[in-house]
Structure 1
Amino acid sequence: MSEYTGRHRPPTRAERRAQQRRSRLPKSFGPAYALPTAAAATLVLTAAGATAAQSSPFTSAAAHAQAAFTPAGAETPSAAALLSDPDVVESARAESATTTDETDGLAQRRQAASTSLAQDQGRTQERQRVARDKARKQLAADRAEAKKRAARERAAQSTSGSTTTASGSGATASGDASSVGAQGWVKPLDNAVFTSPFGHRWGRLHAGQDYAAAVGTPLKAMSSGEVIGAGPMDGYGIYIDIKYWDGTVSRYGHLSSVSASVGQQVAPGDTVALSGNTGRSTGPHLHMEIHPGGGEPIDPAAWLAERGIS
């Protein structure tokens, strides 16, 4: 192609063909116009593709529509004429708009359905979570109640056992007291085994009598009186002193524990301590001393015999 562009130069064959191709399309189908559907896209076919346009569904529809308004015997317009018809173009535009609206409506309905489904799933999950929380709380409450019930049952059993033991001890003490009277006398321990008398031994005074007794053997008050001393003492280990109604004081030594407190009133046969092996002791036993009027110790043998204690 020549680069000369003067006014007297005739257009070349290639320029004429390009000009013919550009002039065949209607203005409404310029580069700035586009239809959203495949049917509308066939409207921008060139004259060389008119056959394909005529065979497309849209062209056939347009041809049928045009034939409906064409009198019998009249010539059917060509595809190029249909493409340049404003009514056909407007119909295509309306169809495209309708299709777009239907597509948008379908998308909106799908979005609404998805949103509703998500909301339903969220509500279902929330109900399930609440139910699980409620079940866990109920289980924890049941376990706590079971623990409390078990604790109450154990406490009741312990109280019942203590009451039974106390009742048994009271019955024994009452039996002893009723058999000898409030001012009667009983042995300090059952099944006593005498092991050592009152007297001097190894250069010192052994101020009482010893009775062999396993650690934990119950020791009893010999008559009615009051506890006037208890606790640890050098040589005696753990001791307890009881002042009886006649003023006599008895001392039990080498105990493992005491079960009566200072100032407590006791009756004949009441358990006041448990035997042991504390202080200067060579083995488990009861060391018992007798102090008439709270004075110096005496040989318990004669004193016990006067009161019928053997």
Structure 2
Amino acid sequence: MDASSSTKHVSLVAAPDIILGTLAGLLDVFGCFKALGWFDEALPRHPPFCVDIVAPGHAPRVLSGGVALASPRPLRDVTHTDLVLLPSLMVTDGEWHTGRHPELVGWLLAMHEAGAELCSACSGSLLLAETGLLDGRTATTHWAYADTFRRHFPHVTLQLDKALIVEGERHEIVMSGASSSWHDLALYLIACHLGTAVAQAVARFFAFDLHGDSMEAHAVFIPRLDHGDAAVEHAQHWIARHLACHSPVERMAACSDTSERSFKRRFLKATGYTPIHYVQAMRVDEAKRLLERTRQPIDEIAWSVGYEDPTFFRRLFKRRVGVTPGAHRRKFSVPGEP
């Protein structure tokens, strides 16, 4: 994906459950160059991208939220494209149903075979995963859909803390994490095709707030409970009610009525986490909630989630989330909030 001055064809996919905001945002960014040449000398004077909105079938598309898209280009008319962009999807009740878009999945495979880059924003990776191209690879998506993703696509490894993941032998599969991390996706693609200076100019114009390498500050920890190990599940429910307890791993093993050694082995197999890392994730997640929704002093929050040493809590929080507790509180404060 070398920077190039030639015009690239971008196919922006509109399926019925596409989220309008992401679709419109990507359309604005990749279509902005004709109007923005004056803004920064790094920006190209001629539009570097030709953008089409494409969709399966003939009928007008009614997108999530009820907005109708009158005349998308039919997929069958697109036999070549350089970039395919899958915006985020609204997944009803948090449960993905496979097999609903066979024409689109077949078209994605054909475009990939012809050399196109396939890119997804947020939950768009669920649709991308249906192609099988992510099997044996790493992907990211919205953390709220992690459970349904893992059940339907067990051969894909999810890394929900990543804002951006690039995969494929040609680095031709690009996925951004939850919600507004589509900003990271757009700027990454612009930097690859047009250079870093152009991406920086676009970021300045749109005042994008990038996520760096991590989505951890935004993510919500959603533990697996469908693993089938009743003793481990009982321990999970117990620790959720007793986050501030001392010696949490010992107490969890005791309440599951197994030896500590056996409990640790079973817990890792069932949840994918060692017990102590699981407890830390639960405690930090609760601390994030308290920082965002209350005005409790940080030391009190540390104590309430099980850390008697506030200095240790601050170090742990920054290591896991990427920012200090105070910075996290400032990031998520609402303008005008008393």
TM-score bracket for this pair, using the shorter chain length? under 0.3
TM-score (norm 1): 0.16
The structure in which a higher percent of residues are strand is 1
The structure in which a higher percent of residues are helix is 1
Larger Rg: 1
